[in-house]
Chains A and B, each alone.
Chain A
């Protein structure tokens, strides 16, 4: 099992946002999470990545059999968890490539792999930039500084391609992308799909799931997963909206 979340309750600033989430993700699987604004999707992503200020009040998260809650964010990253941010942060004065090299080498040290020297790193970076069609000049600038919305999202996927995580959580990586960029980014993501790598894809749009075809779709509503199903559920959502899905009972099993 890659990830097992059981009865997860989490609060932000004293307000309970996640109200009992259960989710199991096997290696190689892609899970889509959909849900209206404010339902707690990013909160779940942040809890998984270990952001400060998100308090888990009950329940458990097991990642590869280990209790995740014990680990600070950097340890989680080194263990193979990657969060593609909904709103990637601008960091003026810190070079995008240098920062990524620092992160990668921290991950490699943790795995007992040799650190990459500047040349090997650049070679790899060039290859992966091509994968998501990220401008070389952009990669050299300060982290996300002055990047357009779409460029920031590409940069996230570029970083994911470099870091080769085991569990990638993509928080609305499609929002802010034009149709061509959506295709490029999805192809980039698909290229990273593998039997050892799991993905949790948060999105509002069924369209993304035409490109990144999920194994499972979950609907998050007011801090709970109210429906789970196959990729057809996304289509159903698009037609009927969240309100109907929530009140609908799941389709009865065929007699």
Chain B
């Protein structure tokens, strides 16, 4: 029998070079023992109930380099450095944060133990940065169907200092024909009164697996807006966790996900209202086609002292076929009494009245379906503040949607 991922991961852990400062080495060791104890999640783990990771664990993924890198120029007021360089200059700078925001568990434990070329993005205190900070990774087009499965551990740390304003755009893609896994952990600290917008665009492909976690902590009066776009993938999982730690912080989490035939896309959000006067908005929409499967699990926690919290969560799903599946589970855990909260989830098909209306004006059925599907998704693209990115996402959407080219032809 050939090796599975657990075996190759153990071997990789054993042979990993160890040159970290003490505090980091200790954290890695802890993560490693967490992974050794618990390994990979199974259906018994609540957060993984609807997502089997068998397609990953059965393959002997071998680590290779290829983390997230900067694309283009780094705007003024921003520094992007490799972790090793930061550690050399300021060995203890990240000690209070790195590995604290993201809980090491299953894949993120393995990431914490294994990552090597982490990227550290710092937005200087008071800097108002107009140009987006562009980051990305490309799993490449190399490899053939029978070449060795590879895993890349991506680690990103973002520190948006007090009163700063910036936008990060991340693009992750690939076309490799051999199985690929990107195991990614991002930690983001949004300082007092800082504003951060974060675009996360993932273009999946049929042999591409992605398990990603984003953990955000927000200080007083800060704001964080995330815009997630997940276009398929063999398995694409994103855990988005946002702690509203300081009073008056606000977050807006948007997400658009698409799962076509054979694809599995899972988004989990957790918004933790840990302080009073915070607000959170979540809008996730999914399109499922063929035998595609989507999962959305969104939790809002409002702690006892988080009075005057304002929390809204919405998840809408569009099923384009009889064989597509979606599991949606929005829930609220509220311990404070003076709060405004709402949540809702819908699963539906294309509206027959709308379809007929378009057809009655001469648009054929396939194009009418594509136009309506596009309209369902476009709401989230319209919320993208960067015009060129919005245009790029529109194109990507039309490329990714079933019969999306008909939208272009029709409109």
Contacts and interface: CB of A to CB of B under 8 A. Distances in A.
B is bound to A: yes
Interface of A: 49-53, 72-74, 76-78, 82-83, 85, 88-89, 91-95, 98-104, 106-107, 110, 142-143, 159, 163
Interface string B344-375: 00000001111011111111110110011011
Interface in B290-348: none
Given A52-B352, A73-B356, A99 B362 contact: no
Contact of A78 (B362, B367, B372): B362
Contacts of A95: 411
Contacts of A101: 411
Given A74-B365, A94-B371, 13 more contacts: A51-B360, A53-B352, A73-B359, A74-B360, A78-B362, A88-B357, A91-B354, A91-B358, A92-B379, A99-B371, A103-B361, A106-B363, A106-B364
B410 interface: yes
25 contacts: A49-B356, A49-B360, A51-B356, A51-B360, A52-B352, A53-B352, A74-B365, A74-B368, A76-B360, A77-B361, A91-B375, A92-B375, A92-B379, A93-B376, A94-B375, A99-B371, A101-B411, A102-B361, A102-B363, A102-B367, A102-B371, A102-B411, A107-B362, A143-B357, A163-B362
Please list the 5 inter-chain residue pairs (A to B) with the smallest Cβ-Cβ separation, ordered nearest first. Answer: A93-B375, A103-B361, A106-B362, A77-B362, A73-B359
Contacts of A73: 356, 359-360
Nearest to A108: B362
B359 A74 contact: yes
B359 A100 contact: no
Contact of A85 (B352, B357, B368): B357
A49 B368 CA distance: 16
Contacts of A78: 362
B359 A77 contact: yes
Contacts of B30: none
A110 B359 CA distance: 14
A133 to B, nearest CB: 21
B378 A93 contact: yes
A72 B361 CA distance: 12
B356 A99 contact: no
B360 A94 contact: no
A159 B361 contact: yes
Contacts of B354: 89, 91
A89 B353 contact: yes
Interface residues of B, number: 25
Contacts of A106: 362-364
Contacts of B362: 74, 77-78, 102-104, 106-107, 110, 163
Interface of B: 351-354, 356-365, 367-368, 371-372, 374-376, 378-379, 410-411
Nearest to B382: A93
Contacts of B368: 74
Contacts of B358: 91, 94, 99, 103
A50 B365 CA distance: 12
Contacts of A53: 352
A110 B362 CA distance: 9
B357 A93 contact: no
A10 B47 CA distance: 51
Contacts of A83: 360
B261 to A, nearest CB: 24
Nearest to A142: B375
B352 A93 contact: no
Contacts of B352: 52-53
Contact of B360 (A77, A91, A110, A142): A77
A91 B357 contact: yes
Given A52-B352, A72-B365, A94 B359 contact: no
Contacts of A50: 359-360
A246 to B, nearest CB: 32
A52 B368 CA distance: 14
B95 to A, nearest CB: 47
Nearest to B356: A51
Contacts of B367: 102
A142 B378 CA distance: 12
Nearest to A78: B362
B209 to A, nearest CB: 31
B411 A98 contact: yes
B364 A74 contact: yes
A89 B357 contact: yes
A74 B371 CA distance: 15
